[in-house]
Structure 1
Amino acid sequence: MVLGWPYPVRRELIDRLVRNIAVDQHKHPINFQNERKFFPIHTVEIGMPKYRLQNGRTTDAQEELIAQEGLPEDFFEKDVELEEAHKKQHEILKNQLKVGGVDLLAYFKERNQEEPLILDNNGFVVNGNRRLCTMRELHQKDVEDGKANPRFSHIEVIILPPCSEDDILTLEGKLQIVEDIKADYVWTAEACMYRSLRDKKHYTTERIAFLYDKKKEDIEELILLLTYVDQYLESRNIPKKYQKIVKEKFAFEAIVKGRKKIGEDVDKKDIFQTVAFSVIEQPLPGIGRLHSFIPKIADNIDQIIEHAKEEFPTDYISIQEEEDFADGLLGGNEIQEDLTNLVRILDKVENREDIVNIAKDVIEAEEDRQQRYTVIQKIQRANSLLQDAVNIFDNDTEVDGIYSQLESIECHIADLKGKLLNVTH
């Protein structure tokens, strides 16, 4: 399978196509450089275009592959013509042909190409990388099956004029994220793309927000979310394995909110995060949805810390004593509690399930207490409302239904008194 002609050959063809546009040649409209333009449609061999390696949809998968195979961090950036990079990009795209309920292979088995791919003036695909991958796969299968006229031997493209990287990104944003694939654009890929633009291209978040028609705050929040995702994956020795957590976006959002809620105590924040990570890794039966349970960890962090110190006293104290001794007997430092040690203990693989159990027990006990306290609160409120009813009752009060309501109230009072007696005795 040819994954893009050599640069000189591509350029020669592109120059010839652009020079020889027929008057009656079909054209395709796109919004480009702040105006609606009509571009001539050209037919080229399917092997001619090159994938655009700086493809927002594949950023997270590229980072995962780099980590998994120990490739250089700039593997997909250093040489955009590198054949090996395009082979790996093809495999990444191939794994993304079925996303959001749409199977492109199945779709194009029954249909012809309906819209041209968009190429830059060097033959890189600005929009349509997955479609190109799909058509290449179907074409290759026909070739291998020995069909006389394999499908997609030639494809339709339009070619952009020389333009800036900003123009390309703006077009990509409008065509890919804002319009066509908003529903199935994986959030980790979106976050990786924004982070890459910020860190590698040195775009401000304001500029990124403008390019992709987003709020600046949303861009920053998604990048922050990715920071905690990376910390989690690295702590579990599966760096960049974004597919492992792609369904847990709400859980990581709860971690971000929980850390903010705890305030300025860094140690407590770290303990909260450590416990939350363990909950994500091995959620226990009965804790419900992660994004609902994790905020409860933040609400009960002090009690969880106290129970954790009781559960791991030997480890906790021994680490403290070692560090105190390292300061010297006359070091002048007061012996004080250091929750940093507790973070390390709780993050040990053998302790992760235990801390989840501790958190679950603490939260369930607190909910139990709250439920018991709620009973007196409701009785007090009912008493207050009845007192109000007594105070406003006069000769003009509508009395229909009052007796039946009072009888019902008396039944509830009798039930509560019975339960109270059972508790007392």
Structure 2
Amino acid sequence: MAYSVKIEPAHVREVVIAELAANSNKTEPFYEYQSRAHDLPIVHAPIGIPIYRMANFRTRTAQQAYIRREGKPADYFSIGEENEAAQQRQHEFLLKFANEGRKGSITPIIDVLKGERQRQPILITRRGVVVNGNRRLAAMRSLYDEDSNLYREFSTVKCQVLPATATEKEIVEVEVRLQMKQRTELDYDWINECIAVRELRDSGLTMKELMALMNKKKIEIEDSINALTEADLYLAEWQSRPNDYEAIDDAKQLFFDIAENVKSKTGEGQEVSRRIAWLLADRRRTLKRRVYDFKPMFGKKSDEVAAKLAERFSVELDDSGSDDMEEDDDFSIDLGGETGPTFRPLISLLDDPTRRDEVAVELIDVCEDIIEIERDRRDGQMPLNLIQQANGKLAEVDMTRADAGSLNAIGKQLDAVQAHVEGLRGFLERQRSETQAITE
């Protein structure tokens, strides 16, 4: 039988925690609050007293998926911290994470607790909200519910209590400082980390503060925000499944690549590039190559891909200098806009959900053709590249620095080099003769 969450009223929790803190004779230093050391009281609270923090970044994706799947209001979790049903769902999310590990490197939290019991306190507010240690609490509750005799020490939970003056902004910063540090535990998944970055940016933190808080470079923060923006566009506009982040939890690199490539494009070029990427995202699990190999197809090769795809579907690319209305010489005005073909008709085709499958098949075929052509071109240039490299290396040789004892060996190497050169030159002359005969 699964653990059943029962919430004590907030005022009851506050009284219990205040009394425990007042009677505590032990403190431990805590360094992640207000960027300085604080001696915070250590208490042992009954296991039913703490409540899970709903704003926990680690569970954001799971929350969004549940809201969508069950048709719950968008704020079901954000306003549900005192709601037993919402807390029960949060418990289930956290318990799942507590059972996860990483083969060969990270043992699941629940297995650690089985063997070592609780070593470090969880961090709670004066109201009993868990700031750090939500997964550990879920695991301890599950184990105690499973066998209250074997795990009887989990009837109470060792907690470190933040000051009553801690603000929500400070609590968020504490969570991020603790979770974003490099340590031997499961990191946030990529979506939840990106959400954390964006929400902290939107909270008013400066870039400098954000970089220090998250231990990231400016470019890493910007890339995370841009990748999440592209993920939101894909889910909302293409899949009609806004916030269904679980659907793309395996596509981190793809959305970072999309963000990197489309930011240098504008207008219709950017839109067609996105749609090429979105179609590839749809088929990412069935592609015969790595998704990474398709990166140029929505990057520097996107215009070529678009043109070839339009040709296959007999889509005539419009001239951006003309309009649907009849031209009137008396009223025609040159606004100095872009001229030449545009991608409007192709974008319309790509946006037609009834044709998405057939378009995807042709798109992948077009991409495969371009990849093969590029590979053949690179292979064709390889002899020249290697000879240029060899020539460059020989040009760097300074014989005045050669050791006398190495001269004979150098001579043998030069003889071998000369033999290779003569062989290559002979092949070159034969190729030239054959080519000339064909052209004549």
Answering whether residue 281 of structure 2 is matched by residue 280 of structure 1, we say: yes
* Change over 3 Å in CA distance of 1:329–1:182 after alignment to 2: farther
Amino acid in the other structure paired with 2:224: L
How many Å apart are 1:299 and its aligned residue? Answer: 2.3
Which residue matches 1:366?
374
Answering whether residue 207 of structure 2 is matched by residue 215 of structure 1, we say: no
The CA deviation string for residues 32-78 of structure 1, in whole angstroms up to 9 with x for no partner, is 33332333321121111011111122223223322333322222222
8 Å Cα contact 2:64/2:245 also seen in 1 = no
Which residue matches 1:125?
130
Alignment partners' CA distance in 2, 1:416 and 1:284: 45
How many Å apart are 1:203 and its aligned residue? Answer: 4.5
8 Å Cα contact 2:101/2:186 also seen in 1 = no
The CA deviation string for residues 391-411 of structure 1, in whole angstroms up to 9 with x for no partner, is xxxxxxx77133332112222
8 Å Cα contact 1:96/1:130 also seen in 2 = yes
8 Å Cα contact 2:14/2:128 also seen in 1 = yes
How many Å apart are 1:332 and its aligned residue? Answer: 6.7
Amino acid in the other structure paired with 1:245: I
How many Å apart are 1:125 and its aligned residue? Answer: 0.6
Amino acid in the other structure paired with 2:215: D
Answering whether residue 362 of structure 2 is matched by residue 340 of structure 1, we say: no
The CA deviation string for residues 225-284 of structure 1, in whole angstroms up to 9 with x for no partner, is 111112223323444333343333222222222223xx4442122222211222232248
Which residue matches 1:85?
86
Amino acid in the other structure paired with 2:411: D
Gap regions ≥5 residues in structure 1: 390-397
* Change over 3 Å in CA distance of 1:148–1:172 after alignment to 2: closer
Which residue matches 2:50?
49
* Change over 3 Å in CA distance of 1:182–1:85 after alignment to 2: same
TM-score normalised by the chain length of structure 1? 0.82
Which residue matches 1:241?
244
Alignment partners' CA distance in 2, 1:104 and 1:343: 48
Gap regions ≥5 residues in structure 2: 398-406
Which residue matches 2:257?
254
8 Å Cα contact 1:297/1:359 also seen in 2 = no
Which residue matches 2:20?
17
Alignment partners' CA distance in 2, 1:245 and 1:379: 45
Q: How does 1:285-364 map to 2 (within 5 A)?
A: 288-313=289-314, 327=325, 337-348=341-352, 349-350=356-357, 351-364=359-372
Alignment partners' CA distance in 1, 2:6 and 2:26: 26
Alignment partners' CA distance in 1, 2:117 and 2:388: 71
The CA deviation string for residues 273-324 of structure 1, in whole angstroms up to 9 with x for no partner, is 211222232248886432343035422223212211111115x57x99xx96
TM-score normalised by the chain length of structure 2? 0.79
The CA deviation string for residues 320-362 of structure 1, in whole angstroms up to 9 with x for no partner, is 9xx966x478797999744132123134422112112112212
Answering whether residue 425 of structure 2 is matched by residue 413 of structure 1, we say: yes
8 Å Cα contact 1:118/1:157 also seen in 2 = yes
Amino acid in the other structure paired with 1:140: D
Answering whether residue 419 of structure 2 is matched by residue 400 of structure 1, we say: no
- 3-state SS of the aligned residue for 2:299? helix
Percent identity of paired positions between Structure 1 and Structure 2:
28
Count the aligned residue pairs. Answer: 407
Amino acid in the other structure paired with 2:372: E
Which residue matches 1:33?
34
Alignment partners' CA distance in 2, 1:75 and 1:283: 32
